Amino acid sequence: MPALLVFDEVEFHAKSALRSAIYTLTRLHELQLVQAALVFIARNMDWLKLLDPAERSSLGNFIVRYPPYSKEQLLGILVYRAQEAFKSGAVGHDVLSWLAEYTHAYMQGDVRRALDTLLLAALLAEQEGAPKVEVRHIVAALKQTEIFVAPADVERLTVYEKLTLYAALRASKVNPYARLSEVLEELLSLAEQLGLEPPSQEEFEDIVQRLVDMGALLAEGPARIAPAPTLNAEVVVSILKDSVRKVHVR
């Protein structure tokens, strides 16, 4: 009797008491009553290190690797699912594009998390009575999931760190991330408006690194950053205004 057995997220079983069952399953073909083909699905190959040599050798070496979704693939999936689940015009292409960009950059391409975020954003928009889902609803949904490192207390940052954080918020209004050159341009403009000495390139890079280390900014490679979704832009602006006021009073 032929049979196909599929085991998803097998890495969790390999870490538990069920690990010994993996070896037993791979020996099913020795039984004359069943012709079993086994498919094990895992997020990565690390789970194989948990098996002993006998278990690994019994698995065989036929491995199919699937790379993470690209931004284009993520957007395609989100667009398709949105068409199935939402009324026409309830969620714009720009919102889905924003979420696809964010998922690719900061969720390791996890489309299930992206869909969960979209669902929660839709519920928030519905509770608010909004006619459609907007980027702000996506950001609010990300904040509620509490899967990101909370940023350090904004009040404890230096004036230039607060300015850099605000510059990053301004530079990332359209996309979920901003290029460092865009953030620096915003920062220099703010410093000039406030009559402050502009930071050097090296000082700016040090500030960005400190903000990344404390979780206030998320980094995607050496040239792009994004404000952590747990940040409250209104709080940042309020604290920044208070800091600037104190600087001018001195």
Tens of pLDDT along 137-146? Answer: 998 888 777 5
pLDDT of residue 232: 66
Q: What are phi and psi of 41, to 5 degrees?
A: -115, 130
Report which secondary-structure segment, H or E, holds 30: none
C-alpha closest to that of 177 among 119, 230, 227: 227
Question: What does the angle CA 158 – CA 237 – CA 168 come to, to the nearest 5 degrees?
Answer: 75
β-strands 217-220, 224-227 pairing: antiparallel
Query: Is 117's pLDDT higher than 80?
Result: yes
* Per-position b or e across 198-214, b if 16+ CB within 10 A of its CB: ebeeeebeebbebbeeb
pLDDT tens-digit map of 177-217: 889 999 999 999 999 988 889 999 999 999 999 888 877 88
Percent of the chain exceeding pLDDT 70 equals: 84
Which of the pair, 89 or 37, is modelled with greater confidence? 89
pLDDT of residue 43: 77
Locate the DSSP E strands across the chain. 2-7, 35-40, 178-179, 217-220, 224-227
* Residue whose structure tokens are 């889902």: 133
Q: What are phi and psi of 193, to 5 degrees?
A: -65, -35
CATH topology of domain 71-145: Helicase, Ruva Protein; domain 3 (1.10.8)
Cα 178 from chain centre: 15
CATH 1.10.8.60 range(s) for the chain read 71-145
Q: How confident is the model at residue 150 (pLDDT cuts 50, 70, 90)?
A: very low
CATH architecture of 154-249: Orthogonal Bundle (1.10)
Cβ–Cβ under 8 Å, residues 138 and 215? no
Which of the pair, 139 or 77, is modelled with greater confidence? 77
CATH 1.10.10.10 range(s) for the chain read 154-249
Tokens (6 digits) for 105: 């950059």
C-alpha closest to that of 118 among 158, 82, 151: 82
Most confident of 27-41, 120-134, 165-179: 120-134
Tokens (6 digits) for 145: 């999931």
pLDDT of residue 219: 79
Cβ–Cβ under 8 Å, residues 117 and 148? no
Which of the pair, 224 or 12, is modelled with greater confidence? 224
Q: Where are the alpha helices (DSSP H) in 28-70?
A: 53-59
Q: What value does the mean pLDDT take over residues 220-229?
A: 76
One-character DSSP codes across 123-155: HHHHHHT-SSB-HHHHHHHHHHHT-SPPPPPGG
Query: Is 149's pLDDT higher than 50?
Result: no
What's at 79, amino acid-wise? Answer: V
